[in-house]
Amino acid sequence: MLALNKGRYRARIAQAPQDVAAAQALRALAFGTGAECDIDDFDAICTHILIEDNREDAVVCCFRFLPLTGGAEIGRSYAAQFYDLDALLDFEGPIVEMGRFCIHPDARDGDILRVAWAAMTQYVDDNGVELLCGCSSFAGTETKDYLDAFAMLKARHLAPKRWLPRVKAPAVFQFAKKLRRKPDAKKAMLRMPPLLRTYLLMGGWVSDHAVVDNHMNTLHVFTGLEIKSIPPARKRLLRAVAR
């Protein structure tokens, strides 16, 4: 069972209803929903991961995993509500959708993200996962602040054609079609969400459009990471932290 204790932080799987409730409360705070808890139907079928501060005994980060036996089950995923994922039906290996990732708004320690990725690595290794996927979110629904980031995604990080998601949501920003600008690399990386930035550093890819999600007040792109494509040096680094 996943369990990590790294310096100030520990990662573990939620074991009780109060653990899931703590994750839901943090999500509501981080996503600015205005509610006490962020709850949806997927919570009941997901494995929830908590990153806790040992000093304060408080949850500072959380996310959830939905395991799928392969591409034939991709229609069960949260992302399938927003993207036509039929291209992934032929993916044969185990898939895990990672979602609702968030860090407490007052937390600024980069070790939190590192411990979170170590927990993901341990889970992926323990379960023989071959594809990690999910929705990577930009705060807000206005595109103008993220044009360099989207131009960078278009130039370097689009999904292979064989896996490329198609449009399904009613409101999307088709950046691969609309943008003709050369990205400013510095601005692009500054505006790229930290989680997505890490995906890309490991060889991750994205959809050619962003969904405008007014309910969550985000723009998000479908993101995939084939485990076999992660550079060996980065795999060794992640696994070193995960031990």
pLDDT tens track for 116-163: 999 999 999 999 999 999 999 999 999 999 999 999 999 999 999 999
- Residues 99/46, Cβ–Cβ less than 8 Å: yes
Q: What is the residue-averaged pLDDT of the chain?
A: 94
Give the distance between the most distant pair of CA atoms in the chain: 50
In angstroms, rounded to a whole number, what is the distance separating the alpha carbons of residues 97 and 229? Answer: 17
Work out the average pLDDT over 15-19. Answer: 96
The answer to whether residue 7 scores a pLDDT higher than 90 is: no
The answer to whether residue 26 scores a pLDDT higher than 90 is: yes
Alpha-helix residue ranges (DSSP H) falling in 2-133 = 17-31, 110-127
Strands 218-226 and 3-6: unpaired
Return the pLDDT at 195. Answer: 92
Return the pLDDT at 166. Answer: 98
Return the pLDDT at 57. Answer: 87
Specify the DSSP element, H or E, that contains 67.
strand 58-68
Q: Is the dihedral of CA 80, 84, 85, 86 positive or negative?
A: positive
pLDDT tens string 36-52: 999 999 999 999 999 99
Return the pLDDT at 3. Answer: 78
Which three-class secondary structure state does DSSP give residue 141? coil
CB atoms within 10 A of CB 44: 8
Nearest to 62 by CA among 97, 30, 108, 17: 30
Return the pLDDT at 236. Answer: 86
Work out the average pLDDT over 173-195. Answer: 95
Return the pLDDT at 33. Answer: 83
pLDDT tens string 71-85: 999 999 999 999 999
pLDDT tens string 53-110: 999 889 999 999 999 999 999 999 999 999 999 999 999 999 999 999 999 999 989 9
pLDDT tens string 201-241: 999 999 999 999 999 999 999 999 999 999 888 888 877 77
Nearest to 95 by CA among 77, 113, 119, 116: 77
Angle at 52 between CA 15 and CA 189, to 5 degrees: 120
Which three-class secondary structure state does DSSP give residue 200? helix
Say what the pTM is.
Answer: 0.94
The four Cα atoms 155, 156, 159, 160 give a dihedral, to 10 degrees, of 100
